[in-house]
A = this chain, B = another copy of it.
Amino acid sequence: DEIRRLHSYPEDSAGQIMTEDFVEVFPTATMAEVLAIIRDASEEEFETVNYVYVLSEDRHLLGVFSLRRMLRTPAEVLARDIMNADPVSVPVETKEEEVARILARYGFAAIPILDLRGRMVGIVTADDAQEVLEEAQTEDVLAFGGVVGDAEAYLSLSIWQLVKRRLPWLLILFVAEFFTGNVLRYYTNTSEKGGDTLLAQLMLFVPLLIGAGGNAGSQVTTTITRALALGEVTARDWLLVIRRELAVSSLVGFTLGFLGFIRAAIPGPIGWGQPVSLSLVVGMALPCIVIWAATVGSLLPIGAKGAGQDPAVMSAPFISTFVDATGLIIYFEVARRVLGAYGLSF
C-alpha cells in the first residue's frame, strides 16, 4: 500500500525515496506521553526514530526534537516547549539528489517531507540519501568517462546494455574526429610543391601535440567538474576560474614547449635532430595548444552548469576530441607563420 502510494510521486523525487514511518506527536504531548508513543510504535516506525515530529491537527509540521534531547527532558514538559520550531523540510516533489545534498549539508539523520499543501507525509533518512548520492556520483563518473546510463552494477549489465551505454558517445566523437582528419586534409591539399617533405615532418609531431592538449584538457576538466560538483566553485566564478587556469596552463605550456623544443632539436638517440625552424614550431605550438585546452576544459563544464546541465556531460573524451581538431588548426597556423619567418612554406 505504501509502495503503491510512493510510486505515484514523480520519478526521482523525494516522494519515491521517503518512508512514511515516523513518530509524530501533538504539541501538547508531555514527554511521558511521547515516550509511551515511541514504546507503542510499530517496528517500522521505531526503526527510523531519531527525531520526533510535532504536527498540528491538520498535519502541518510545527517543530521537531531529537530522541537525545527528549532523554534529558523531565517527563512533564510539553513537546511544544522543547521542539525546534520551523525545522528544515523539503517539498515531496524535490529531486531526490537535491534532498540528499540538503541532508548531507545539515548533517541531519533525517529530513521531513511535505506535500503540496504543506502537510507532512514522510521523512528521508540519511541512509537512503547516502545511496542516492553514491548513485549520482557513479553516474557522474561514468558520464565523465563518456559512458551513458544509470548507476547499475557492472556485472548486472548484459553485453548489449554495455554496448548501448558506450556506442552513443563513441559515434558522436567518431564523427567529430573525422573533422580532425578534414583539418589535416586541408593543410595537405593546400601544400605547395616542394613543401611535401616539410609537411611530412610536421605530421610526425601531430600525436605529440594533440596528446598533450588532450591530457592537459582532461586535467582541467576533471578539476573544474569536481569543484563544481562539490560546490567549491559556481558558474558565476567563471572569470576567476579562467584567470587561474590561464596562469596555470601558461606555466605548464611553456614548460612543455621548452622541453619539446629541446627534444626536437637535439640529435638522436635522445632527440630527433630536427632543424631549429621545425623545433621552434613544436616549442611554440605546445603552449598555445595547452592554453587553448585549459580554456576549453574549464569554460565548457562551467557553461554546461550555467545552462542548467550536468557539467559531467562535458566528458574527458569530448574535451580531448574537441581539442584534437582545434589544436591541429593552431599547430598548422603556428607552423605557417614560424616557417614563413624562415622563408619556408609547406
* CB closest residue in chain B, given A180: B207
The listed residue (B68, B170, B255) touching A256 by CB distance below 8 A is B170
A224 within 8 A of B: yes
Verify B146–A214 contact, CB threshold 8 A.
Answer: no
Contact A211/B159 with A46-B68, A216-B170, A252-B166 known, Cβ cut-off 8 Å? no
Verify B180–A211 contact, CB threshold 8 A.
Answer: yes
A38 within 8 A of B: yes
* CB closest residue in chain B, given A226: B141
Contact A215/B169 with A205-B181, A207-B180, A263-B178 known, Cβ cut-off 8 Å? yes
* CB closest residue in chain B, given A228: B154
Verify B226–A138 contact, CB threshold 8 A.
Answer: yes
Contact A211/B321 with A130-B130, A166-B248, A188-B200 known, Cβ cut-off 8 Å? yes
Contact A223/B177 with A170-B216, A316-B316 known, Cβ cut-off 8 Å? no
11 A-B pairs in the complex with CB atoms less than 8 angstroms apart: A39-B71, A138-B226, A162-B223, A169-B219, A177-B207, A177-B212, A188-B204, A200-B200, A207-B324, A207-B325, A211-B320
What residues of chain A have their CB less than 8 Å away from a CB belonging to chain B? 35, 38-39, 46, 49-50, 67-68, 71-72, 104, 107, 109, 126-127, 130, 134, 137-138, 141-142, 144-147, 153-155, 159, 162-163, 166-167, 169-171, 173-174, 177-178, 180-181, 184-185, 188, 196, 199-200, 203-208, 210-212, 214-216, 218-219, 221-224, 226-227, 230, 232-233, 237, 240, 244, 247-248, 251-252, 255-256, 259-260, 263, 272, 316-317, 320-321, 324-325, 328
